[in-house]
Amino acid sequence: MQEPLEIPIRIVLTETSHPGNIGASARAMKTMGVSELVLVAPKEFPSAAATARAAGADDLLAAARTVTTLAEAISDCAYVVGASARLRSLQWPTTEPRTCAQRLWEHLPAGPVAVVFGPEHSGLTNDDLARCHELVHIPANPAYSSLNLAMAVQVICYELRMAHPGSLAAGTAAVDEDREAPLATADELEAFHVHLEQVMFRSGFLNPDQPRQLKLRLRRLFNRARLDQTEINILRGILAAVDPDKPAGGRR
Ligand code: SAH
């Protein structure tokens, strides 16, 4: 018999409407060796329908953490991927599940990593998207590309299993091997973006009536840079220094 394979990658389901989909997602995860489930504001949970559809994966449901915002679900994460059924008006870096699964494994040494799934009816919002380093899209019939939530979870967890480092080709180095400082967490990035927006606003650069795309574009830019903690500190130091409303005495 094979050794059980533990896949320490977090699955986050946001605002799921049907508890049955939560149960079916837990089952999909457990079959692939993925166990960490976080639920953001589920409509109904715990629920008998979830337990019934989990079919023996109810241990995952019992251990699931329920939170009220996506920010809480990923606050400690070094890398976050959003699963999206459709292409967006603002292009966000998007991969297919196989490449995405490899990247998730590669980022794991830097801190927790997560895959975020949207609600059944509407998918991920732009605010959710802004918190994702990249999106994963399961290639599908372009005229009918939206999978059932739990089936999308199944495909991603399967690819995570297949991309387990033990099965990667030799010589595929982890991307973070030569980093001097740990990657910034989602919380640290969020604090930086809040700070950046404040300074852009106070300096008159950001017009509050301007389309929100500017903020999204900046988030896309800094996500692409994969900032580490030293870099975040430098950027925040610069923001503090140029802030027109900075407290007397300079840096804060
Ligand atoms: N009607 C929604 C689809 C929601 S399906 C929309 O148009 O966006 C629920 C969730 O399952 C999605 O938010 C996404 O996380 C996941 N999902 C469904 N189909 C997918 C696909 N082809 N690729 C990636 N994720 C998918």
Answer whether 149's CB lies under 8 Å from 21's CB. Answer: yes
**pLDDT per residue of the chain (252 residues) written in tens, 0 to 9:** 566 789 999 999 999 999 999 999 999 999 999 999 999 999 999 999 999 999 999 999 999 999 999 999 999 999 999 999 987 767 899 999 999 999 999 999 999 999 999 999 999 999 999 999 999 999 999 999 999 999 999 999 999 999 998 754 333 444 555 678 888 988 999 999 999 988 988 988 888 777 668 888 888 888 888 898 999 999 999 999 999 887 665 444
Q: Is 218 in the pocket of ligand 1 (CB under 6 A)?
A: no
Domains and CATH numbers, the chain: 10-163 (3.40.1280.10), 186-242 (1.10.8.590)
CA 237 to ligand 1 centroid distance, Å: 39
Helix boundaries (H) for 33-176:
48-54, 58-63, 70-74, 97-107, 126-130, 149-162
To test the pocket of ligand 1, the residue of 16, 40, 84 to mutate (highest count of ligand atoms within 8 Å of its CB) is 84
* Number of the ligand 1 atom closest to the C-alpha atom of 136: 24
- Distance from the CA of 152 to the center of ligand 1, in angstroms? 7
Residue 86 near ligand 1, beta carbon < 6 Å? yes
CA 27/CA 180 separation, integer angstroms: 39
Beta carbon of 138 within 6 Å of any ligand 1 atom = yes
pTM as predicted = 0.83
Question: Strand 134-136 relative to strand 79-83: parallel, antiparallel, unpaired?
Answer: parallel
